[in-house]
Each structure stands twice: as structure tokens, then as C-alpha cells.
Amino acid sequence: MIHTHQKVLVTGGTGFVAIHSILQLLNRGYEVRTTVRSITGKDKIYEMLKNGGITDFSKLDFIEADLTSDKNWLEAMIGCQYVLHIASPIFLRLPKNEDEMIRPAVDGTLRVLKAAREAGVKRVVITSNFGAVGYSHKDRNSLVTEESWTNPNEKGLSTYNKSKVLAEQAAWNFMKTEGGSLELSVINPMGIFGPSLSADLSSGFEMLKKLLDGSMKAIPDIRLGIVDVRDVAELHILAMENPDAKGQRFLALAGGTMSLLEIVKLIKIKMPYVAGKASTKSLPTFIIRLTALFNDQAKAILPLVGIYREASNEKAKTVLGWKPRNNEEAIMASVISLIKWKSLKV
């Protein structure tokens, strides 16, 4: 289907999900504008899109805009029917005070929604995360669905996840009280894997690299929901196009969680030459608890250890006809990217 003259604004075009979304939108014939924090970011975007097979850039344009400032947001949205708000505020270090992370997340989201409403945008699709949905879910026998919400004051919740919950809540409240004719949909992905279009690898790759290069000597009991970045991008576009997605949130996961140990074992079977240094020793949870008393890294992963949260992707499949790749495909595509971009010595 070719969508002539329909223009989509994608925020934060250099990001992992955003670049895959731009790639798919261009392939579907949409005109795309993307925000970059600095206009020098556009070279990186051209390069990644070329890596993804795009040769014609005539339907792509750029605008400089930052989530922490009002500048250019209204201009960015003029003439756009849709906005995919994928960008998150960037933190080069963990803030001392949690408000330093929460305020920009909430304010940035509201800034985008206000500008979209002013510009007469039809629908905004926001990227939230699973941290906003399932982290207060305590019943191991029931699936997490889109009805669930994480309590922002949940013990052990990271500041990042807290900022995601509060930003998403602020978005829905804005829609209730002053959204006007604007429509909103929200995507809540679990752990995002899949192919990278550049050597700048996102956090999921970092973790895989540590599992495979032997720097993780023993493996903590952590289970992840997994989704391929290509499917997350597609889900944003389906939620943008489908009338039934209005006012809805959608969990993005391939289905069924995997433990870090299962991930290592999978790679050892599929690509043994990559996983030679990988440990298959389990790290007992009590050791992490002890270590967390004086080690920040252990403290950061502690809330994830020994927690089993299974979530349902039924809604995205039934309402939007979404057909995600399986866990295995998403993981192996990441491993191939690690090798391709020389992050992992083979």
C-alpha cells in the first residue's frame, strides 16, 4: 500500500526503534520527518537507512528539536498526520536525584502531545515500556495484560521505569483533560533485540555481549520477555494506521519469556563458535543479594532476579493483526549484528 502525501513525524530518529520505524515507513511510501537533537545526527540516519537498503531519500526531512525545550516542536508537526513519539530523554550518567530523570520524561511527553494537538495531528503513538505495565504484577499464575499498571512507588523500581510509568500516565491524563480531537495509542515493549543498522548498539546488545565474551562468569536468574525491533517498529505503524488502536495500549513481545541461561544455551547450539567463552554456571540469588549491599551493578539487577512475569501479546495480534517473529529469531539477529559490527570477536 503506497501512502502518498501522508506525512509522519518520528521523534529521535537515531534511536534503535526509531530508525527501524523510519525504514519501514519509507518502504510503505510515507513521507517522513524526523527530529534530531543536533542536525549532525542526519548523517548517521542516512548511513543507517542505507545499511537497511534505502536508496531514495526524497521523502525524508529533518528538524532539530530536543525534548527539554519547546523550540521547533510545533514546526516539526505542521503538515504531519501522525507522530511516532519514540525518543526518550538521554542521560549520560544516572542522575543523583530521580526528578532529574522523571521531569524531562513527563515534560517531554506533554510537550509532544501539546504540539501535536496545536498542529492538528490526527494520532500520536508513544513508545512506553513493559516497566509501565507489569512490574507490580505479583500473581505468577496469571498473565500480565494491558490492563495492568506498575505502581510508580513499587519497591525496587528503577528511576528509568518510574519515569516511563509517570510519563505514560501523564499522556493519558492529558488526553482526558485537554486532548481535543487528538488520538493516542501506546506501545509497551519488553526486551528489544534484533538487527542493528549501525555499530552503535543498544543496551540489549551490551547484555548479550557480556554473556558471550565470558565477562559474565556466572549467570543470574533473570527472565526476559523478548521482541524483535522490526516487529516493534511494525507495531507502531499498525497502531498508527488502525482505527481500532485509538485510546489503546499494546504490549510488544514475541511470546513466552527466556532466562539468560536459556539464551546462552540457544546460542551455543545455533552458533557454537560464538559462545565458546560463555559461562553456563548459575549465579545463586543469595550471592547477588549480598553483593548488592556494596555493589551498584548487583543492586541494579536485584529487582529483576528470580522474578517471573509472563505477559500476553494477544491484544496486538487480534486487534491489529500483528505477527511477531519468535524469540529465537530476535536473539540470533542480535548475535549476528554483534559479529557484523565487530563488537564480538569470533
Q: Tens of pLDDT along 169-203?
A: 999 999 999 999 999 999 999 999 999 999 999 88
pLDDT band at 302 (very low <50, low <70, confident <90, very high): confident
Range of the domain at 117: 7-194+225-254+310-326
In the predicted model, is pLDDT for residue 121 greater than 70?
yes
Q: What per-residue string of b and e applies to 105-132 under the rule 16 or more CB within 10 Å gives b? A: bbbbbbbbbbbbbebebebbbbbbbbbb
Q: What per-residue string of b and e applies to 90-104 under the rule 16 or more CB within 10 Å gives b? A: eeeeeeeeeeebbbb
In the predicted model, is pLDDT for residue 155 greater than 70?
yes
Q: For position 107, what pLDDT does the model report?
A: 97
DSSP E strand stretches across 209-339: 219-220, 223-224, 226-228, 249-252, 258-259, 282-283
* Coil/strand/helix, residue 175: helix
- What average pLDDT does range 17-37 have in this prediction? 97
177 located within any domain: yes
Report the largest interatomic distance among the alpha carbons of the chain, rounded to a whole angstrom: 59
108 located within any domain: yes
pLDDT band at 140 (very low <50, low <70, confident <90, very high): confident
122 located within any domain: yes
In the predicted model, is pLDDT for residue 3 greater than 70?
no
How far is the C-alpha of 62 from the C-alpha of 9, rounded, in Å?
A: 9
Q: For position 303, what pLDDT does the model report?
A: 82
How far is the C-alpha of 195 from the C-alpha of 332, rounded, in Å?
A: 9
Q: Where are the alpha helices (DSSP H) in 179-243?
A: 203-212, 229-241
* Cα 64–Cα 186–Cα 25 angle in degrees, nearest 5: 55
More confident residue, 90 or 277: 277
pTM: 0.96
Q: For position 225, what pLDDT does the model report?
A: 96
294 located within any domain: no
Q: Which residues are catalytic?
A: 164
154 located within any domain: yes
Q: For position 93, what pLDDT does the model report?
A: 74
Q: For position 297, what pLDDT does the model report?
A: 82
Q: For position 345, what pLDDT does the model report?
A: 85
Say if CB 98 and CB 159 are below 8 A apart. Answer: yes
**3-class DSSP string for 109-132:** HHHHHHHHHHHCCCEEEEECCHHH
271 located within any domain: no
Out of 237-241, 295-299, 317-321, pick the least confident: 295-299
Cell of 100: 532529574
In the predicted model, is pLDDT for residue 2 greater than 70?
no
Count up the domains in the chain and report the number. Answer: 1
Q: For position 102, what pLDDT does the model report?
A: 94
331 located within any domain: no
- What average pLDDT does range 209-235 have in this prediction? 96
Query: Which CATH number is 28's domain given?
Result: 3.40.50.720
Q: Dump the DSSP string for 45-106.
A: HHHHHHHTT----TTEEEEE--TTS-TTHHHHHTT-SEEEE------SS--SSTHHHHHHHH
111 located within any domain: yes
Cell of 284: 545463586
